Amino acid sequence: MATVFVTRDLPGGGLSRLRAEHDVEVWPERLAPGPAVLRERVAGAEGLLCLLTDTVDAGLIAAAPRLRAISNLAVGCDNVDVAAARARGIPVGHTPDVLTETTADLTLALILAVARRLPEGQAAVRAGEWLTWEPAWLLGRDVHGATLGLVGRGRIGEAVARRAEGFGMTVVHTARRSGVALADLLERADFVSLHCPLTPETRGLIDAEALARMKPTAFLVNTARGPIVDQPALARALHQGAIAGAALDVTEPEPLAPDDALLAAPNLLVLPHVGSATHATRARMADLAVDNLLAGLAGRTLPYEFAGPG
């Protein structure tokens, strides 16, 4: 029986399976353990099940001499120093595929919400500003017939494309081996939706120059990773009316402070990273994360080992 630290309670029955085989400590608080607490709790652990918001860096890994497996409850692993883990022979697991359709649903919801100004409409109703039916009030943009530009067309991007085509949208995309150039996509698209991984090449990809290429009537949607967007540049573009609006499910940092300058920008919808937040998807993610940890602690190959760069 191994000692396992889990950084947050998980939905579904995955933790029960983990507890049946190992000695499991689950962090009981709603907020994540701070860096010092996380290092203390992992110091004697053989297994770690962590979230995207937990920083598992080289220092933490070095301070955990008994650690034999890391399981990350996320598709990406940019919160884990994968290279440091691999140098120690510690496999790193993730939870791919299961959140594809759910995140694609949310992406389309964000497109519809910003196009039709749904947050503004709800706020107007609650504020008592809905006095009559006005032909020129709260006019939005049509989604049908619009061009959607997908920056990256992996599993989630492809799922978004299927939905968009069902709404009568024209879809263009960038990808490593196909599609159009990013500059061309930015100039053509009515909605730019980000679906690329966070890498050194994509960090800050949507910067001031990229935003300047977009139409003043276009919207930016990000359900990928926050650092792909230069947030100060986005705030300036929104304040200046350089683009029509933006909808973000991811930011840098997460969570944003209530007084973050970005939140003062107009025509902006920000969600608290809920792309995979359905009962079924989060429970399935937990199952995959537990499967990874059980395999790693048993000396078996992880069924969903992270194969990205480390």
Convert 234-269 to b/e letters by CB count within 10 Å (16 or more is b): bbebbeeebbbbbbbbbbbeeebeeeeebeebebbb
Of the residues 173, 273, 282, 284, which is catalytic?
273
User: How far is 155 from 137, CA to CA, in rounded Å?
Assistant: 38
100 contacts 223 by C-beta, under 8 angstroms: no
Q: Is the peptide bond before 255 cis (omega within 30 degrees of 0)?
A: yes
> Is 195 one of the annotated active-site residues of the chain?
no
**Residue 299 Cα distances to 192, 294, 302, angstroms:** 44, 9, 9
* β-pairing verdict for 92-93 and 47-51: unpaired
Of the residues 173, 225, 282, 284, which is catalytic?
225
> Is 94 one of the annotated active-site residues of the chain?
no
User: How far is 285 from 73, CA to CA, in rounded Å?
Assistant: 6
Q: Is 147 helix (H, G, I), strand (E, B) or coil?
A: strand
Of the residues 25, 129, 209, 254, which is catalytic?
254
Element (H, E) at 93: strand 92-93
> Is 225 one of the annotated active-site residues of the chain?
yes
Active site residues: 225, 254, 273
